[in-house]
A and B are shown apart, each in its own frame.
Chain A
């Protein structure tokens, strides 16, 4: 299983390609490719976004589903998805999650 990741050009924020081809700031929003055809489609969308100067450093990365959550195989990508491990008050990990409605 793979997802597509990049950094946003304007501020360098780590982002992932969502199903509507927007760029999600949280890895939970990433569209998952389970076959080669979908991987190709993600890559094409990533290339288009790169050429439109929305993002830089576009890459497909390996993920698994762990307890229903998308989890990258590489520690590097897990750190990118959360933030620095020595400062849990910084980065995405410090952002408030959306509260439950009921």
Chain B
């Protein structure tokens, strides 16, 4: 992973000192809330229902054990003993005091972390495939480019006061595990016919109140042109993006209102002017950054196969976990492990300080000291010898993080919702817990198969419900919570926005409605292998509407 140099250390330390001064002046009343608010947002500090919230950046979701231990320490010392991993590969703390935040930032800086640009109208965390560097189907590790973009976008003098937030995601495989088509800029790292590395470039994806799938504006951008092209996009957005209406200020609206062809023309013109200038990436610079992401030395561990056979025979729990939570690695003796943070009946994406400490130990001892955060609110150990999988599993069992539900219906993504968030209209965690408990049976879940269920507590869609196979949106109607259901969304390379199925459901009804939807799928699926999404795409919403609403009188 990237390691700070002198400049980076100095930069982060200076920023912490600056924010400490700003906090002190704010607490002393020397600057007003209007003056302070944009400054605290640029440092990831939100105000929520019960307390402030601090969102710590985890660049492209990559962490080592030393960093994880500091995240545990912060949860323990300054918060209430837990943290929440987010849909942008970051971590959030729900209870810090403003007065303590400079100390928290000092602790983060000591392990090369910060909370910069996790809020505000700037370029946010550049996210990447959580299996980067490990996936068997990967063309190249996208994280080197995510790091280049991170350095470019940090405190960018031209792009720090954009019309609105800006999110970039990078994937390095044909299968898109980073949901790039729902980002402002999506980058698909690939090779052209000559074997050179470059990107397909997508622009204008996003969720929120007007969900849109990104448009591909370039099929192949050579890697050396990455920064010049992204600068061109940002410059066009900064100039033409709307500033009159917060809800029409993202680049997706600019694409929609201008038209893809015309907007691409503006971008290409800007790019032509920039292309040969100082933003061009020399091969040596790219190679220097790539060196930080050199894979660990994976020694041959052929004993894995027989060890796994024995272990599976001994333990059904381990068999189930192996089947769901272990992913093929490019090295045959290794695997990538998904640590589900979706215990049955628990709040999705949360981990305690004790769990974080234990995970740090596991990573250091058995996983080459590398941990990833996925946008699906789980943690990943990208490099585990197959011979060590049982040892890892046993240690996960000991800390309650061995739920074998990766990709199943109880692997729910949920925003914090009305239990925490000042923007929310309805609770999301309680709905997630209800559904999780209903589908607690491992047998039933496996029979249902892959089903990505995502819940948002308001129209801002931080739970990514628009791209859930089943999406749930919580709204407030006549002072009560109401849940709208969408079906058929997907965030992968065949991206789609879910379709609303009909009238919403109250908190007491929504769990049952989800069961009805799943039962309908099971009744209609063509053979045991057809997934929920495949069945929906084959049949449309008809059978589901009938099952949910068929008994009701139709409105005039």
Residue numbers of A with Cβ under 8 A of B are 7, 9-14, 50, 52-53, 56-57, 73-76, 79-80, 83-87, 90-91
- With A53-B27, A85-B430: A12-B50 Cβ-Cβ less than 8 Å: yes
A residues near B96, Cβ cutoff 8 Å: 12
Q: Are B52 and A12 in touch, CB under 8 angstroms? A: yes
Which A residues lie within 8 Å of B425 (CB)? 76
The answer to whether A86 and B419 have CB atoms under 8 Å apart is yes
Ordered nearest first, which 10 A-B pairs have the shortest CB separation?
Answer: A11-B97, A84-B419, A53-B29, A12-B52, A12-B51, A86-B429, A80-B49, A56-B33, A10-B99, A91-B50
Given contacts A7-B47, A85-B430, 8 further A-B contacts (CB under 8 A): A7-B51, A9-B33, A12-B97, A50-B33, A57-B47, A73-B479, A79-B419, A80-B50
Q: B175-192 toward A: CB 8 Å interface, digit per residue (1/0)?
A: 000000000000000000
Q: How would residues 68 to 98 of chain B score, 1 for a CB under 8 Å from any chain A CB and 0 otherwise?
A: 0000000000001000000000000001111
| Cα–Cα, bound, A14→B95 (Å) | 12
In the complex, are the beta carbons of B98 and A14 less than 8 A apart?
Answer: no
Known: A12-B97, A74-B479. A86 touches B29 (CB 8 A): no
For the complex, give the distance between the alpha carbons of A40 and B480 in Å: 28
User: Would you call A75 and B481 a contact (CB within 8 A)?
Assistant: yes
Q: Which of A12, A75, A87, A91 contacts B47 (CB 8 A)?
A: A12
Q: Quote the shortest CB–CB distance from A94 to chain B (angstroms).
A: 10
Q: Roughly how many angstroms separate A73 CA and B29 CA in the complex, as a whole number?
A: 33
- B28–chain A nearest beta-carbon distance, Å: 8
- Which residues of the partner chain B approach A9 to less than 8 Å between Cβ atoms? 26-27, 33, 98
Complex: A56 Cα to B98 Cα, angstroms:
12
By DSSP majority rule, is chain A's interface helix, strand, loop, or mixed?
loop
B420 at the interface (CB under 8 A from A): yes
Interface string of B251-264 (1 = CB under 8 A from A): 00000000000000
Contact with A along B426-451 (1 / 0, CB 8 A): 01011001000000000000000000
* CB-CB nearest in chain A for B100: A11
Number of interface residues of B (CB under 8 A): 32
Is B347 among interface residues, defined by CB-CB distance under 8 A? yes
Contact digits for B23-35, partner A, Cβ 8 Å, 1 yes 0 no: 0001111001100
| Known contacts A9-B26, A9-B27: A76-B50 contact under CB 8 Å | no
- Nearest chain A residue, comparing its CB with the CB of B346: A86
- 15 A-B contacts, Cβ less than 8 Å apart? A7-B47, A10-B97, A11-B51, A13-B50, A13-B51, A50-B33, A53-B27, A53-B28, A53-B33, A74-B479, A84-B50, A85-B427, A85-B429, A86-B427, A91-B50
Q: Are B48 and A85 in contact (CB under 8 A)?
A: no
B: residues with CB less than 8 A from A are 26-29, 32-33, 47-52, 80, 95-99, 347, 418-420, 424-425, 427, 429-430, 433, 476, 479-481
Inter-subunit contact B27/A10 (CB<8 Å): yes
Given known A11-B97, A73-B479, A75-B481, contact A52–B49 (CB-CB < 8 A): no
User: Please, how many angstroms separate the alpha-carbon atoms of A11 and B101 in the complex?
Assistant: 10
Within the complex, what minimum Cβ distance (angstroms) separates B135 from chain A? 34
Nearest CB to that of A52 among chain B residues? B29
State A56–B429 Cα separation when bound (angstroms): 27
Whole-angstrom distance between the alpha carbons of A56 and B347 in the complex?
29
Residues of B within 8 A of A13 (CB): 50-51
Give A49 to B482 CA distance when docked, in angstroms.
36
User: Which of A11, A53, A57, A84 is within 8 Å of B420, CB to CB?
Assistant: A84
Question: Contact check: which of B26, B29, B97, B419 meets A85 at CB < 8 Å?
Answer: B419
Give bound CA distance, A57 to B34, whole Å: 11
Chain A: minimal CB distance from B31 (Å): 9
With A53-B26, A74-B479, A85-B427 as contacts: A12 and B48 at CB distance below 8 Å: yes
